[in-house]
Copies of this chain bind each other. A is one copy, B any other.
Amino acid sequence: MDLWLREAQISDAAMTYKVKETLVRKKTKYQDLAIVDTYALGRMLLLDGIVQTTIKDEYVYHEMITHIPLFTHPNPKKVLVVGGGDGGTIREILKHPSMEKAVLCEIDEDVIIECKKYLPEISCALEDSRCEVFIGDGIKYVHEHKNEFDVIIIDSTDPFGAAEGLFGGSFYKEIFECLTEDGIFVAQTETPFYLPDVVKRVYDDAKAVFPVTKLFMAAIPTYPSGYWSFTIGSKKHDPENAQLPEKIPFETRYYTEKIHRASFALPKFVEDLINIK
């Protein structure tokens, strides 16, 4: 018997994966969670039928959402991740020698529990003594902490349903207050190929709050189109022209200094979308 999974991503086009085994499937308090083992990409986490991360390509997303802001900041010591219950972003954050404390604020404890069980390669750093896990609403957490984090990373699901409040101007104003005086914020912000309106709206909302706002891109095979945008808002440091370390003090699989600079080169249609020359 051949078992195939069809992703719920786009109504008129969908990726399908041949499945070895469904490791867990449960309705959590917030979503439909599944971890399945596939032939093409190894184990993958799905939330509400949408692929969140896979063993095969998780490093691209986790390296890029982390190292672009963390190497832009000259001395990041305290970082907040909103979402990201799989732990991959925390794993990358804790590779930075300057790091003192990484807080993970995840609303759905079941994501953490199941990723610890079935995706240890990704969740491995959640037990690190510098990591503090807080189960709760990211919007509330950010509201209750002022002038505290050097970097805030919004590692969320898509901007529909549960995660909708994590995108948009009013939340970005709260993030601004939660950051230290030279703090940096970054968020995954979908693909300009299929969701140009979301990319534009998020960029404009961030730009209204942060003195320096930029978009950067990464090649993530398992996300729709394979070409993903991140929006970065910074109080002071320019991520595109950041002074990067002479040598990256740990191994990477995607990120390099050259990739850091190049990721800010946008296709013409994306430049036009967000009105930059």
- Write the A264-277 contact mask toward B (1 if CB under 8 angstroms, else 0): 11111101000000
Stretch at the interface among A108-116, A143-151, A217-225: A217-225
- Write the A1-41 contact mask toward B (1 if CB under 8 angstroms, else 0): 00000100011111111100000000000000000001111
- Write the A247-277 contact mask toward B (1 if CB under 8 angstroms, else 0): 0000011111011011111111101000000
* Interchain CA distance A13-B267 in the complex, whole Å: 28
* Interchain CA distance A261-B74 in the complex, whole Å: 26
Q: State whether the Cβ of A244 lies closer than 8 Å to any Cβ in chain B.
A: no
Min Cβ gap A177→B in Å is 34
Q: In the complex the two chains form, is A40's CB within 8 Å of B12's CB? A: yes
Chain B residues whose C-beta falls within 8 Å of the C-beta of A57 in the assembled complex: 193
Q: Name A39's closest neighbour in chain B (CB-CB).
A: B12
Number of copies of this protein chain within its complex: 2
Min Cβ gap A216→B in Å is 11
Min Cβ gap A84→B in Å is 22
Q: State whether the Cβ of A227 lies closer than 8 Å to any Cβ in chain B.
A: yes
Told that A226-B227, A253-B269, A259-B268 touch, could you supply 11 new A-B pairs with CB distance under 8 A?
A12-B38, A12-B40, A13-B40, A15-B16, A56-B193, A57-B193, A219-B225, A252-B268, A261-B262, A262-B263, A263-B265
Q: What is the size category of the interface that chain A forms with chain B?
A: 35 or more
* Interchain CA distance A194-B219 in the complex, whole Å: 13
Q: Name A6's closest neighbour in chain B (CB-CB).
A: B16
Interface residues of A in 204-254 (CB under 8 A from B): 217, 219-221, 224-227, 252-254
Given the known A-B contacts A13-B40, A221-B227, A225-B219, are A265 and B256 also in contact in the complex, defined by CB atoms under 8 Å? yes
Chain B residues whose C-beta falls within 8 Å of the C-beta of A226 in the assembled complex: 219-221, 225-227
Min Cβ gap A218→B in Å is 9
Q: State whether the Cβ of A60 lies closer than 8 Å to any Cβ in chain B.
A: yes
* Interchain CA distance A263-B219 in the complex, whole Å: 12
Chain B residues whose C-beta falls within 8 Å of the C-beta of A13 in the assembled complex: 15-18, 38-41
Q: In the complex the two chains form, is A193's CB within 8 Å of B217's CB? A: no
CB contact between A15 and one of B15, B41, B262 (< 8 Å): that residue: B15
Chain B residues whose C-beta falls within 8 Å of the C-beta of A264 in the assembled complex: 262
Q: In the complex the two chains form, is B268's CB within 8 Å of A256's CB? A: yes
- Write the A182-201 contact mask toward B (1 if CB under 8 angstroms, else 0): 00000000000110000000
Chain B residues whose C-beta falls within 8 Å of the C-beta of A194 in the assembled complex: 221
Q: Name A255's closest neighbour in chain B (CB-CB).
A: B268
* Interchain CA distance A227-B16 in the complex, whole Å: 18
* Interchain CA distance A266-B262 in the complex, whole Å: 9
Min Cβ gap A23→B in Å is 17
Min Cβ gap A64→B in Å is 10
Chain B residues whose C-beta falls within 8 Å of the C-beta of A255 in the assembled complex: 267-268
